[in-house]
Structure 1
């Protein structure tokens, strides 16, 4: 999950935004479990909703999706965006909100980014720069005992 607690402006998201986003994510999972779509890009595709970020005014929400088993994430997101009216209608019936936010879908690339960073960190040249891990030096305390320096 991309659990970034800051919005695009850099300001921390409120408890209400986080709570509403999580409530929408759970409701969307329920909708996905029981819905069927007549879109060839969604045929047989199983999708995980990793996070839902809600705007401060609670009028807009972005759902980050990951198709399980591969697939073209951009096409799947485009197909979900075409069906956003359906989702908004379903969510409006399920959620206890004054108004249901407009939903947009984006591919969740955070897992790809994490894998990319991990592969960079494990490169031989990076490992050389990190050098060997030294054991902490032993420091003698005033009372004559050896203590490990941290």
Structure 2
């Protein structure tokens, strides 16, 4: 039985990364052009932050965020409702043997970045960083 590289701790293969990035760009272009004729979807400016593919490339998890961060859950429902048409558009523009099944999730990367910034601006953390820098400088002598 073959090892599943995606879940073995080794991370995605180069092929998964390439295909994921190609799907991300293609999907972004489709959404920007408005190729999907859904008035609910047309109300959103969507950022496609990342696409992760399964090892067999049959499932693509698409991480999206609405511009401004409002209406995340509604956006996921709208994208899921249009999954078939989005998949068709991707298949039309890409040269994959199979168009992957698309699964949509909220991209929380920006939230994590904000939390990290808040953490680093905390005065206790700043004091610890300064102390560590001082210790490193003394070790250089």
On whether the aligned pair clears a TM of 0.5, the verdict is yes
Find the counterpart in structure 1 of residue 137 from structure 2.
136
- Partners of 1:88 and 1:103 within 8 A in 2: yes
Q: How many residues align?
A: 134
Find the counterpart in structure 2 of residue 33 from structure 1.
32
- Quote the Cα distance in structure 2 between the aligned partners of 1:76 and 1:55: 23
Unaligned stretches of 5+ residues in structure 2: none
Q: Equivalences for 1:47-66 in 2 at 5 Å?
A: 47-66=46-65
- Partners of 1:47 and 1:66 within 8 A in 2: yes
- Is the radius of gyration larger for structure 1 or structure 2? 1
Cα distance change on mapping 1:90 and 1:36 into 2, 3 Å: closer
Q: Equivalences for 1:105-116 in 2 at 5 Å?
A: 105-116=104-115
- Quote the Cα distance in structure 2 between the aligned partners of 1:7 and 1:107: 20
Tell me the C-alpha RMSD between the 2 structures: 2.2
- Partners of 2:47 and 2:66 within 8 A in 1: yes
Find the counterpart in structure 2 of residue 144 from structure 1.
none
- Partners of 1:39 and 1:79 within 8 A in 2: no
Q: CA deviation at 1:7?
A: 4.3
Unaligned stretches of 5+ residues in structure 1: 1-5, 139-148
Find the counterpart in structure 2 of residue 99 from structure 1.
98
User: After TM superposition, which residue ranges in structure 1, 4 or more long, deviate above 4 angstroms?
Assistant: 6-9
Q: Greater shift after overlay, 27-36 or 102-111? A: 27-36
Whose strand fraction is larger, Structure 1's or Structure 2's? Answer: 1
Whose helix fraction is larger, Structure 1's or Structure 2's? Answer: 2
Output the TM-score relative to the length of structure 1: 0.78
- Partners of 1:49 and 1:66 within 8 A in 2: yes
Q: CA deviation at 1:36?
A: 4.4
